[in-house]
Structure 1
């Protein structure tokens, strides 16, 4: 169970070359910090070119180009362990099997459990779960829990969480070396430079942060969310990418949309099916964890339309969401146009965008452009 899932977020020599089975996505390898700076400069030129050619352009960036992928792997493991601990505590309170946002832990019982497990005394955890933090509800949901990663600990601190199977406390995060901490900070600084770039801030260029392999994705999504919180206050500048071939795609979209509602920023997303299926399946089979990919193409289509419909409904309700429908599937494009009409979302509002690779699906692209 848990041990199997965590195998996904550990480095494995046999999959060091991430190009295997990937033909439609660029793969970056870490050489050194200077090379990451070069990639950042390339992205900056793309942002400025996009800003110079249109009033509301897009530019895509990849986080594996901006830093050492090992950091993304380690941070992903942290986030997954933290979320797993929440689900284990929810199961202890009889809430196993509920949707992610429907799980609500009673703060009082949670504090008692944390004290019993030796993580924090009741006095120490008291300020984590104040009425202000919980909105007076007296319960802790997944978003409240995730926020503790910010307030409870800095990334470099050693945080212990219990392994519910063994009953032993284990480190949530292995200590970074001084050099690894510097590499992490430089990656965040490069992201900051791109988000603040003149083309993005002044010319309305939106930055789409590409999704990558599932074992990097929790960290990529979390770092992108942090950018959205800062830069999407007035308009959607930063777009997160969700891969709908993943079994957890809908939960991820729903949780992040809810966070944007609570905090009042614009939710920006690009929806894709996914580019790493063969590699993901082979890695899961060889290393021994559950395949993260939907079992059939039809299930992936269902997931795509479910996620898309959720975001379109959010646009209808609040007008503070935007979506890039990145699809070459004609049925998906027709579905989107039909739902836009039904929900009263007019193209002139510029809340829904369509994207296809140049020349790959011109019979869809050109009619959309007209």
Structure 2
């Protein structure tokens, strides 16, 4: 039999054409992940960054990669391993949403808890995602600055805890908030119940404070001046935020209705803080009883483990189901080129071996969480035979049966004849 890339990766050209293959695979317990691409929208990758966006400045090197940049304005140059979208207008985003809805409908019935994949750059203006990512990273960097001043530099993310009284004094000394004002900040359902504040508490403070009329100020360490955190968000960008959340809401509701799991793909690291934030917001709403929304973590990133552990801990505190797709990554060439051109640290692990270690470390953490709480699920999206064997071995050691739907495998093309799946645990 002649085998082609088309035959392995493409189930058919429309919803009707894919049904025979989906039914045949379902008979063998193989589900489907439907992913929409629009190749006719790909261009030459030239920037369409506006003059206003080119003038963005004042952020330190830590935020440099989250700026608009002439050579990478539409995020397509140098990308060969993953599909990207060209932003035309909000109407085009709505059209993409409608197509994603058709994919969800087609996934329904393909298997129990089928998957449909989406990309947020199809649902939002990429430059908005860059700007929002910059804001999120500024807020996170401010937390780590405060931690350094309290002598906690270099600690693991979840082990870094600010002493509340010292933090309030620092905020008052900086002129950001009086002690009385900050005491109001740190009271609430979860804040103010202990004498320390960790990064998850800090992020929840960001969510609540940015909804208030008074601008949230943070210090610019270069100038020594206070600057509004959201100073670069225009009224139009506020509308874009609302629109993308509304589109995600529509897709999540359809996925829940159809019994389909929705995977939000990871993209370039300078979009990813915004993408992950919006995805987690959707998980908090829709993953209350089971994992409907899956976030994707790219394990070639140096910060992958911190991101996974932080989101797992957030799901524990709030009681929702953590759903993840673990991949190695698809944008290495572009990420490294952009880092070199813009002068910030390469976000990618230095070697293939380090990426493998990161993947297995993140995977093991999620498998432990599945064993511990049964409120986590993972798709092991890897072509790597050693990773699949590692997963099966750890599942057996943890007493997780290979047929457990909390763990599923993606991208096993060409490997099924090489791996013996255990039929039962000893």
The bucket for the TM-score relative to the shorter chain is: over 0.9
Question: C-alpha separation between the residues in 2 aligned to 1:131 and 1:35?
Answer: 40
Further displaced range: 47-56 or 324-333: 47-56
* Structure 1 position 133 matched with structure 2 position 190: yes
What is the DSSP-based 3-state SS (H/G/I as helix, E as strand, rest coil) of the residue aligned with 2:389? helix
What is the DSSP-based 3-state SS (H/G/I as helix, E as strand, rest coil) of the residue aligned with 1:214? coil
Alignment CA distance shift 1:11-1:92 (3 Å): same
Q: 1:219 aligns with which of 261, 270, 274?
A: 274
Question: C-alpha separation between the residues in 2 aligned to 1:155 and 1:279?
Answer: 38
Further displaced range: 203-212 or 149-158: 149-158
CA contact (8 A) 1:4 1:289 kept: yes
Q: 1:338 aligns with which of 385, 393, 396?
A: 393
* Structure 1 position 112 matched with structure 2 position 164: no
Q: 1:229 aligns with which of 277, 284, 288?
A: 284
1:99-178 pair list within 5 angstroms: 99-130=156-187, 132-134=189-191, 136-154=193-211, 158-178=215-235
Give the corresponding residue for 2:414. Answer: 362
Question: C-alpha separation between the residues in 2 aligned to 1:157 and 1:108?
Answer: 23
What is the DSSP-based 3-state SS (H/G/I as helix, E as strand, rest coil) of the residue aligned with 1:134? coil
Alignment CA distance shift 1:107-1:279 (3 Å): same
Give the corresponding residue for 1:38. Answer: 95
Q: 1:282 aligns with which of 337, 345, 355?
A: 337
Provide Cα deviations, 1:305-331, integer angstroms capped at 9, x if missing partner: 000000000001111100000000000
* Post-superposition offset of 1:131: 7.3
Number of equivalenced pairs = 364
Give the corresponding residue for 1:96. Answer: 153
Larger helix proportion of the pair: 1
Give the corresponding residue for 1:238. Answer: 293
Provide Cα deviations, 1:24-56, integer angstroms capped at 9, x if missing partner: 211101101111111001100000100132221
Question: C-alpha separation between the residues in 2 aligned to 1:256 and 1:330?
Answer: 27
Question: C-alpha separation between the residues in 2 aligned to 1:346 and 1:263?
Answer: 27
Question: C-alpha separation between the residues in 1 aligned to 2:167 and 2:147?
Answer: 9
* Post-superposition offset of 1:156: 8.8
CA contact (8 A) 2:128 2:237 kept: yes
* Post-superposition offset of 1:304: 0.3
Question: C-alpha separation between the residues in 1 aligned to 2:235 and 2:144?
Answer: 32
* Post-superposition offset of 1:177: 2.8
Question: C-alpha separation between the residues in 2 aligned to 1:59 and 1:45?
Answer: 10
Q: How does the TM-score come out when normalised to structure 2?
A: 0.82
What is the DSSP-based 3-state SS (H/G/I as helix, E as strand, rest coil) of the residue aligned with 2:66? coil
Question: C-alpha separation between the residues in 2 aligned to 1:244 and 1:156?
Answer: 38
CA contact (8 A) 1:131 1:137 kept: no
Root-mean-square deviation over aligned CA pairs: 1.9
Q: How does the TM-score come out when normalised to structure 1?
A: 0.94
* Structure 1 position 15 matched with structure 2 position 72: yes
* Post-superposition offset of 1:365: 8.0
1:161-200 pair list within 5 angstroms: 161-197=218-254, 200=255
- Larger relative contact order, structure 1 or 2 (CA cutoff 8 Å, min sep 6): 1
What is the DSSP-based 3-state SS (H/G/I as helix, E as strand, rest coil) of the residue aligned with 2:383? coil
Alignment CA distance shift 1:157-1:298 (3 Å): farther
Alignment CA distance shift 1:302-1:256 (3 Å): same
Provide Cα deviations, 1:123-150, integer angstroms capped at 9, x if missing partner: 1111222374336321100000000111
Question: C-alpha separation between the residues in 2 aligned to 1:97 and 1:182?
Answer: 38
Which segments of structure 1 move beyond 3 Å, counting only runs of 4 or more? 155-158, 364-370
